[in-house]
Amino acid sequence: MAISVETFFLNPDAQGTLQAQIQEMIAAGILSGRFRAEEKLPSSRKLAAHLGVSRITVTLAYTELVANDYLTARGRSGFFVSGTAPVPPSFSPTEKGQETVDWAGTITRQFTGGDTPRKPKDWRSYRYPFIYGQADATLFDHANWRLCALRALGQKDFAAMTGDYFDQDDPLLIEYIARHTLPRRGIIARPEEILITLGAQNALWIVVQLLLQQGRKAAIEDPSYYTLRDQLGHTGCALDVIGVDSDGLPPEQIAADTDVIFTTPSHQSPTTATMPMARRKALLSRAKEIDAIVVEDDYEFEMSFRAPPSPALKSIDSDGRVIYLGSFSKSLFPGLRLGYLVGSEPFIRQARALRANVLRHPPGHIQRTVAYFLSLGHYDAQIRRMARVLQERRAVLEEAISSHGLIPANRSLYGGSSLWMQAPAHVDMGRAAEDLRANSVIIEPGAPFFSTETRRHNFYRLGYSSIASERIPQGVAHVAEAIRNARP
């Protein structure tokens, strides 16, 4: 039997080359059982004419399918579904009945709810995306990333890409971090003191699991990264929420019975305050005095375009008290999901065992690609390009907010990729943010960053890592208008 040419149509919205689309249609037809063994495909001439594509495109698709044994070529008679092509199974699924499982009673721990807000997935379609922490296609060195990924996909790297590392990491990446990245933060660490994680959030999660539980106490900054608060909440530990000032976390307010202190000294999240060196030293002394562990999320240190970054807290830690978190996600792209933990060997050993238990290891191909991107110097070049653009955008943004009378709640001297803003006390920025979407503006309401006890609704964050300079003034004008129009 011949397969009718009418069976085939190109989806106008499909991605990928025409050849790939034709291959996909035919493979899908065979795998789903619509096309059966020995059935004849339309001639390449006929199919090409029907689809309005060139004949060579169809021929190439057929040839690929022959190589994969979906089709066989029989000289002049044309192409047929191969006799040994995959056959779909013949059994059909049971009709679904009424679900009788009581899931509320069966699931012992709930993870939904919590403070982590939902952000719009389609933010790229907004005209004024003051969104934080997303990748800007215009700033990313796509070409070199592709080359590095390609190199990591090569035969030479087969083992690195495909292998099960069990609980280990890519030695090339670890070596680069130890020899180049950490020294630039003033940190010296051996490979046994470094663990690659699935992004900085995964690093935080690991630390929380190992150090906190009922009966322990954590101190966190307020406002702070909401997901950290969620993570701590699930452990049942006690939580001290310490308000930050324009220098970040005030060490003298840390209670004596605190076990673990979470801090973001480079750019406080979300206020962007940078902790001065004197306070860093005071924080370490306080930690030592009360025998607490300090978890330093060294987030966005690369984005210090206004002044050179201060050395990390970890670099002045002489007794192994600081656990350091780094990430490539912010400066490369968040979908990368790659970060690292640096700490004392006994701690990293447990962190490695926990990670192995949960997910084994971050995918090898990604680790190797980043290792190449770093060691070829593309990473630093990209950081500098980004810093230049962010500096320009920051200037435009400062100008726009000042001309509209908007008020920054804090102003990092070092740079960063966002401004932490304060509206008049009566304004609910959550509601304003929703209204602003109608004008194609995305801003981040500040409320989720505050603990429930201290929650304030008149703060918001303006990210400028994914919005072009020329769009900033009009976007800020919309924000100013929304704040003016907000009902008390």
Site for its own copies, residues 7 to 26, rule: CB under 8 A: 15-16, 20, 23-24, 26
Enter the tokens of residue 141.
Answer: 């060195």
| Per-residue burial over 96-114, b = 16 or more CB atoms within 10 Å of its CB, e = otherwise | eeeeeeeeeeeeeeeeeee
For helices 429-437 and 472-485, what crossing angle results, to 10°? 130
Two tokens, residue 29: 């037809």
386 in Cβ contact with 416 (< 8 Å): no
Cα 375 from Cα 362, distance rounded (Å): 19
Which residues fall within 8 angstroms of residue 122, CB to CB, at 6 or more apart?
none
Interface pattern 199-238 for its own copies (x via CB under 8 A): x-xx--x---xxxxx--x----------x--xx--x----
Residue 7 vs 344, nearer CB to its own copies: 344
Site for its own copies in 395-454 (CB under 8 A): none
Task: Pick the closer one to its own copies by CB: 52 or 89.
Answer: 89
Q: How far are the Cα atoms of 408, 418, 443, 447 from residue 273, in angstroms, in the given order? A: 12, 11, 20, 18
Find the binding residues for its own copies in span 350-369 (CB under 8 A): 350, 353-354, 356-366
8 A C-beta contact, residue 356 and residue 209? no
d(CA 408, CA 51) in angstroms, rounded, equals: 57
Name the residue nearer to its own copies (CB basis): 30 or 441: 30
Q: Are 427 and 486 in contact (CB under 8 A)?
A: yes
- Contact present, 328 and 347 (Cβ < 8 Å): no
- DSSP letter at 257 equals T
Closer by beta carbon to its own copies, 214 or else 425 = 214
Q: How far is the CB of 228 from its own copies (least distance, A)?
A: 10
Shortest Å, Cβ 314 to its own copies? 9
Shortest reach from residue 263's CB to its own copies, in Å:
17
Q: Which residues, listed in sequence order, are joined to residue 114 by a DSSP beta bridge? A: none
Site for its own copies in 137-156 (CB under 8 A): 137, 140, 142, 144-146, 149-151, 153, 155-156
Which positions from 268 through 287 interact with its own copies, judged by CB under 8 A? Answer: none
Q: Of residues 454-483, which lie at the interface with its own copies (CB under 8 A)?
A: none
Applying CB under 8 A, does 6 fall inside the site for its own copies?
Answer: no
Q: Which is nearer to its own copies, 114 or 408 (CB)?
A: 114
Least CB distance to its own copies at residue 473 (A): 26
Site for its own copies (CB under 8 A): which residue of 267, 279, 286, 378?
Answer: 378
How many CA atoms are closer than 13 Å to the CA of 14, on its beta-carbon side? 14
Is 198 an interacting residue with respect to its own copies (CB under 8 A)?
yes
> Looking only at residues 236 through 265 of this chain, which bind its own copies when binding is defined by CB under 8 A?
259
Nearer Cβ to its own copies (442/476)? 442
> Please, what is the minimum distance in Å from the beta carbon of residue 402 to its own copies?
29
Given the complex with its own copies, which of 162 and 454 has the nearer CB atom?
162
Q: How far is the CB of 12 from its own copies (least distance, A)?
A: 15
Nearer to its own copies, 66 or 477 (CB): 66
Peptide bond into 362 cis (omega under 30): no
Nearer to its own copies, 184 or 437 (CB): 184
- List 240's β-bridge partners, or say none: 219
Please give the Cα distance from 60 to 62 (Å, whole number).
5
Q: Determine which residue in the list 340, 372, 450, 464 makes contact with its own copies, applying CB under 8 A.
A: 372
Smallest gap from residue 422 Cβ to its own copies (A): 26
How near is the Cβ of 222 to its own copies at its closest, in Å? 20
Q: Rounded to whole angstroms, how far apart are CA atoms 156 and 153?
A: 8
Least distance (Å) between residue 213 CB and its own copies:
5
Among 116, 246, 422, 474, binds its own copies (CB under 8 A): 116
Q: Which residues pair with 407 in a beta bridge?
A: 422
Work out which of 13, 252, 319, 453 binds its own copies, going by CB under 8 A.
319
Q: Total residues at the site for its own copies (CB under 8 A)?
A: 142
Q: How far apart are CA 186 and CA 314, in angstroms?
A: 8
Q: Under DSSP, is residue 296 helix (H, G, I), strand (E, B) or coil?
A: strand
Query: Which residues between 49 and 88 bind its own copies (CB under 8 A)?
Result: 65, 68-70, 84, 86, 88
CB 41 within 8 A of CB 80: yes
User: By the 8 A CB rule, do 80 and 38 touch?
Assistant: yes
Window 166 to 185, contacts with its own copies (CB under 8 A): 166, 168, 180, 183-185
Is the distance from CB of 199 to CB of 327 less than 8 angstroms? yes
